[in-house]
A and B are shown apart, each in its own frame.
Chain A
């Protein structure tokens, strides 16, 4: 997760402390020391969902899966995660709001010191549910919208889903629950991006997360609908330009890019071209501290049946199951040669990634896309959109630290 607004405009936002050790000047809550080295854990609390999205990484549908973690098991899992030092649990799904014990689990997480946040399609965020989640201690609700009404509803498989999500967002804003957009950019909806941001800023939303499509779950079935590298570059440029334009107008929206750490390198290049060399240097240093693609390190996923995954998108491979061992024991077990190699991936990356001068801030981007397309978890990410000129040469700003 790369904060474009932080890097290009200096906007200081909740959560940046998770990503940037150097945010000394921040007045927001920071997470440091041991905890910042622990992963943010995505917990898919159920496979069930009231929508049927084309790109769902969890392959969710209206059916309840056998063996979903019970309330008691969920609380034991949260205790386990707190003992390990996980700073944040992102309740996800399926659609997490179909779980009737969600408030109970959120409250339990908050009570034991884990920051509870939510990823939802927004269409079950009734005023009553929003209030009960807020009162349980929920800190943030990220709502998925993937285009203006026609495109969004086609993508999500239910007519009226766009308006439903907007009502859910309004309910959050009315209740004082922090909310924001989750938008997966594909060829189908890239043209709607600015329109959706305009609609939501008019409502009062100020946080926008733009996801690149990863190739997991049903996402593997729409790879052909993914952006070309050239179109991806254009979309990321649009996010950067839009962030600066809003900021210049005094509207401090927070914008983030997720799922393709080629963005890290591009942001350095963008900052150099549009803001200046000193800015590029500062951006690079922030991103160096951020540490590049977080797969198997700073993000983890636990599915509805307790299987632990390298990221939420990589559901086809599990490191182990929390019904068998604690999360910490699974996550720390580097007798697993894949986990070990992913954590020292610079020595394993091949092709254009092997000699890329931005390897330190990118780390090969999505290993899942590489695996899906090339059957090799250490092949180049097929969605790298950087030019050979940009990735060639010595490491930028070698040995520098930020001001």
Chain B
């Protein structure tokens, strides 16, 4: 457990809530993480997960990604996770909306 010293806590699902999906294919199998679906409600997430995994699953679990704590060895993944769960304060460098607007080419105005 000592190696689980990194918390991955970056935001996920910018357009809708994200739901982690776990699947068991048959009774003796382990419950396995099989990704996540984007859905505004648990009911819609259930519909989506069932459509994707209904052909194979005996069991499906859904957990809100924003309620899921992700701990891992810091050698995994590309993220800059933090030991104490705080955000690292580093943002992707993108244009502000003002500059984006002013630099957009529009025919003769460019």
Chain A residues within CB distance 8 Å of chain B? 45-48, 50, 59, 62, 64-74, 76-77, 79-80, 98-101, 122-126, 158-168, 217, 304-307, 315-326, 335-338, 341, 348, 371, 375-378
Q: For the complex, what is the distance from the CA of A122 to the CA of B51, rounded to whole Å? A: 37
* B35 interface neighbour in A47, A306, A319, Cβ under 8 Å: A319
A167 surroundings in chain B (CB, below 8 A): 105, 107, 110
B48–A68 touching, CB < 8 Å: no
B56 surroundings in chain A (CB, below 8 A): 337-338, 341
B residues 45-76 with Cβ under 8 Å of A? 47-48, 51-53, 55-57, 70, 72, 76
Chain B residues within CB distance 8 Å of chain A? 8, 10-15, 18, 23, 25, 32-39, 47-48, 51-53, 55-57, 70, 72, 76-81, 90-95, 97, 100-101, 103-110
B110–A164 touching, CB < 8 Å: yes
Q: For the complex, what is the distance from the CA of A158 to the CA of B33, rounded to whole Å? A: 42
B101 surroundings in chain A (CB, below 8 A): 50
A71–B48 touching, CB < 8 Å: no
Q: For the complex, what is the distance from the CA of A322 to the CA of B37, rounded to whole Å? A: 16
Q: A62-B100, A71-B93 are known contacts. Are A126 and B11 too (CB-CB below 8 A)? A: no
A307 surroundings in chain B (CB, below 8 A): 12, 18, 36
Q: A159-B106, A306-B78 are known contacts. Are A335 and B32 too (CB-CB below 8 A)? A: yes
Q: For the complex, what is the distance from the CA of A217 to the CA of B16, rounded to whole Å? A: 11
A321–B12 touching, CB < 8 Å: yes
A217 CB, nearest partner CB in chain B, Å:
8
A67–B105 touching, CB < 8 Å: no
B35–A318 touching, CB < 8 Å: yes
Extra 19 A-B pairs, beta carbons < 8 Å, given A72-B90, A318-B37: A50-B100, A67-B11, A68-B91, A70-B90, A71-B93, A98-B94, A124-B104, A305-B11, A316-B38, A317-B35, A317-B48, A323-B10, A323-B79, A325-B76, A325-B77, A326-B78, A336-B23, A337-B55, A337-B56
B106–A164 touching, CB < 8 Å: yes
B14 surroundings in chain A (CB, below 8 A): 47, 65-67, 304-305
